Amino acid sequence: MSKLNILDILFVLQSYLIGWEEFRMNKWLIGYIVVIAASVIDWMLSVSMVCNENLRVRRLIRPFFLLQNSSLMKKTLKCIKRTLPEIASVILLLALHLCLFTMIGMLIFSKSDDPKKNGEWETYFKNLPKSLSSLLVLLTTANNPDVMIPAYSLNRGYSIFFILFSVFGTYLLMNLMTAIIYNQFRGYLLMSVQTSIIRRRLGIRAAFEVLCCPGRGHTSTQSEVAVNMFLQVLGRVHMKSHCRQAIIKAAQQFPDGFINGEAFQRLFIELDKDFMKEHPLKPEYSSPVLQHIQYMYSHFYIVVLGNVVALANVICICTVLVLNSEKSASEKNNFYMEILNCIFILYYLIEMLLKIVAFGWRGYLSYRNNIFDGFFTVLLLVTFARDPVPGRVMPLWEMVRLVNMLIVFRFLRIIPEIKLMAVVASTLVDLVKNLRAFAGILLVKTFLIIFILFTSEPRLSLCSPFSLISNSSIENKTDGPFSMDCGTFEQLEYWPNNFDDFASSLVLLYNIMVVNNWHVFTDAYTRYTTEWSLVYFVAWWLTSSVMWVNLFVALILENFTYKWDRSNALSVEDVERIAYQSTVQLIFREHIQEPTEEELLAQLQQHPHLHLSW
């Protein structure tokens, strides 16, 4: 209840600050109060029923607060909402394609008088729900070529039916859906970024007009702002220190001490630029030996040599693994592997120390590759220095295996040195930043779906059948839903994939989203619970695997295309810098049209909360 009180206080403050008129126009705040009211009512019902109720609605609507407090998630939801009509048309076409081929399949593979020719009918086309589910799974290629083998064994011509279905459904319609989602996603993001830029420019222009108002120590007849006044106001603004320093430095360069409107806008372009840290200067040595070491170990060829040594180390490990692949831990001779690892780790240590001498401590740590190398080198030293006596710390083989894994991870240092690999790696890093909104919405949807499962009757759980099977012999299990046919849920022993708790539910939903063998799960749950469970799994597949995964693909394509186009004019060393500049705004920067002075002034005149006299 204390959480609800806090939310009530936040709601009252927000509605008071923005005013009643703005509150009535804000759908999210209206939804906010509705959700709070529903939560309070549900809490009161829980108290009156002594917390013995089967369903708690407030848990179901709790993810709303996550969406309501994230502007990026709201924009993503708007993007999905705008994309739904176009996706719906393709889904309808896909459904028509599925139904058409289902009817044709039921006509082609109808029941025959000869039992030997009824394999396809018995397994995949026995009735309408079975036929629909079989072809739906084939649409995801999860049961290909299993679904056509019984018919293909009788006549090769039957393969034409399945090939045509896959070509039109999987390779044309599904890819068309990806193209539509990508196009709509890109268009909405571009429009969203354009709106964001206009709001920022409008806010900067409004600040300029407020500072130009009479009575603020400004006697000029022109629209100008005194630099001293601007710097005083800027000192009270909360912003990143490097942006503040850049703006102050640019403002102090006006010789007459005043800033006009156009120059005022240019000052805040620094907010759009990303901070690029400069590497510290190298230390100066008077000793010729140290100067020679500094020259050698700051050269690019030392990096190449380090990569070659790391590659040789990985090749040695791979060779030993191949030779010892069929030996047990007691049969393996780790002496030579230990000697090789000792030599390579010694080289890594010398390389790290000499680089520290060449660049200095701060210079060495200013390179992310050096931090990566140094971290694994220290970790290897700590691991290697531990006493490998059995029973004291760890067995010799366990230590060798751990050292080898660390060496393999250290080999990833080669990625930034190859241009294409560096672009791909930086794209993956940016996805962590730019996909947070999509991941949040997917998490909210997953939470809702799992909650519905936990509160539904009957629950989608295989725990009861599993207990039944464990208490009776499989040989005597001739009736009921249990099946030990090849490729079934029971034969593959998929019992850990269930909805018995939240963690296992997440794993099961992920396995279905990957769509590899997802028909095994749907078949088992339709047999053990109800055939309507198939609707739930198909809904999850459509929203997660079709919509969200395609949205991920759209952002990956846009991000990678932007990076690849920029990297063509850069060297290998500069490619790493792109990782700092790949926000959504900068990706679409070249497609954004800056607002004109007339547009900004017109919008300021119509602003309800800003009253200026020009």
CATH number at residue 181: 1.10.287.70
Q: Are 425 and 578 in contact (CB under 8 A)?
A: no
Q: What is the mean pLDDT of residues 516-540?
A: 83
Q: Looking at the domain assignment, is residue 491 inside a domain?
A: yes
Is there a single domain that holds both residue 95 and residue 224?
no
Is there a single domain that holds both residue 118 and residue 156?
yes
Q: Are 544 and 513 in contact (CB under 8 A)?
A: yes
Is there a single domain that holds both residue 536 and residue 495?
yes
Q: Which of 265, 130, 119 is nearest to 200 (CA)?
A: 265
Instruction: Of 7-11, 115-119, 154-158, 305-309, give the lowest mean pLDDT range.
Output: 7-11
Is there a single domain that holds both residue 259 and residue 312?
no
Q: Which span out of 13-22, 59-68, 92-101 was modeled with the highest average pLDDT?
A: 92-101
Is there a single domain that holds both residue 328 and residue 360?
yes
Is there a single domain that holds both residue 25 and residue 79?
no
Instruction: Of 28-37, 67-76, 279-288, 457-466, give the lowest mean pLDDT range.
Output: 457-466
Is there a single domain that holds both residue 319 and residue 253?
no
Give the pLDDT score at 578. 47
Is there a single domain that holds both residue 323 and residue 383?
yes
Q: With cut-offs at 50, 70 and 90, classify the pLDDT of residue 469.
A: very low
Q: Which helix (H) or strand (E) holds 225?
A: strand 224-226
Give the pLDDT score at 612. 62
Is there a single domain that holds both residue 440 and residue 574?
yes
Q: What is the mean pLDDT of residues 206-216?
A: 72
536 or 420: which leads in pLDDT: 536
**pLDDT digits 0-9 by tens, 341-353:** 888 888 888 988 9
Q: With cut-offs at 50, 70 and 90, classify the pLDDT of residue 439.
A: low
Q: CATH number, domain at 387? A: 1.20.120.350
Give the pLDDT score at 103. 92
Instruction: Of 167-176, 199-208, 371-380, 585-594, give the lowest mean pLDDT range.
Output: 585-594
Q: What is the mean pLDDT of residues 217-237?
A: 73
Q: Looking at the domain assignment, is residue 93 inside a domain?
A: yes
Q: Are 612 and 216 in contact (CB under 8 A)?
A: no
Give the pLDDT score at 48. 79
Q: Which tokens go with 134?
A: 């079989």
Q: With cut-offs at 50, 70 and 90, classify the pLDDT of residue 6.
A: low
Q: Looking at the domain assignment, is residue 205 inside a domain?
A: no
DSSP-based three-state secondary structure for 213: coil
- Residue found by looking up tokens 């907010």 in the block: 271
Q: With cut-offs at 50, 70 and 90, classify the pLDDT of residue 386.
A: low
Q: Which span out of 158-172, 427-441, 518-532 was modeled with the highest average pLDDT?
A: 158-172
Give the pLDDT score at 167. 92
User: What is the CB-side half-sphere exposure of residue 322 using CA atoms within 13 A?
Assistant: 6
Is there a single domain that holds both residue 144 and residue 254?
no
CA distance 562 to 541: 30
Q: What is the mean pLDDT of residues 414-436?
A: 65
Instruction: Give the number of domains in the chain.
Output: 5
Give the pLDDT score at 476. 45
Is there a single domain that holds both residue 381 and residue 319?
yes
Q: Are 204 and 193 in contact (CB under 8 A)?
A: no
Give the pLDDT score at 607. 72
Instruction: Of 4-18, 32-46, 49-63, 171-185, give the lowest mean pLDDT range.
Output: 4-18
Give the pLDDT score at 450. 58
Indicate whether 311 pLDDT > 60: yes
Q: With cut-offs at 50, 70 and 90, classify the pLDDT of residue 249.
A: confident
Indicate whether 573 pLDDT > 90: no
Is there a single domain that holds both residue 444 and residue 572?
yes
Strands (E), 261-380: none
In the chain, pLDDT over 90 holds for what percent of residues? 3
Give the pLDDT score at 340. 83
Give the pLDDT score at 392. 47
Q: Looking at the domain assignment, is residue 165 inside a domain?
A: yes
Q: Which of 71, 76, 28 is nearest to 441 (CA)?
A: 76
Largest CA distance in the chain: 103
Question: What amino acid occupies position 26?
Answer: N
Q: Looking at the domain assignment, is residue 228 inside a domain?
A: yes
Q: With cut-offs at 50, 70 and 90, classify the pLDDT of residue 601.
A: confident
Q: Which span out of 220-224, 286-290, 425-429 was modeled with the highest average pLDDT?
A: 286-290
Q: Which of 134, 142, 140 is nearest to 108 (CA)?
A: 134
Q: What is the mean pLDDT of residues 280-302?
A: 84
Give the pLDDT score at 5. 58
At CB < 8 A and 24+ separation, what contacts does 212-220 make?
Answer: 213/612, 220/258
Q: Looking at the domain assignment, is residue 196 inside a domain?
A: no
DSSP-based three-state secondary structure for 237: coil
CA distance 89 to 83: 10
Q: Which tokens go with 44?
A: 């009161």
Give the residues across from 258 on adjacent strands.
226
Domain that includes residue 243, residue range: 212-274
Q: Looking at the domain assignment, is residue 282 inside a domain?
A: no
Q: Which of 138, 160, 190 is the last residue of a domain?
A: 190
Q: What is the mean pLDDT of residues 86-113?
A: 87
Task: Report in angstroms the alpha-carbon separations of 495 from 247, 474, 531.
Answer: 62, 15, 19
**pLDDT digits 0-9 by tens, 77-97:** 777 777 777 778 888 888 899
Indicate whether 554 pLDDT > 60: yes
Q: What is the chain's mean pLDDT, rounded?
A: 75
71 or 388: which leads in pLDDT: 71
Instruction: Of 78-87, 201-210, 434-443, 586-595, give the lowest mean pLDDT range.
Output: 434-443
CA distance 550 to 90: 14
Instruction: Of 132-136, 378-382, 449-453, 555-559, give the lowest mean pLDDT range.
Output: 449-453
Q: What is the mean pLDDT of residues 6-35?
A: 69
DSSP-based three-state secondary structure for 226: strand
Q: With cut-offs at 50, 70 and 90, classify the pLDDT of residue 421.
A: low
Q: Looking at the domain assignment, is residue 597 inside a domain?
A: no
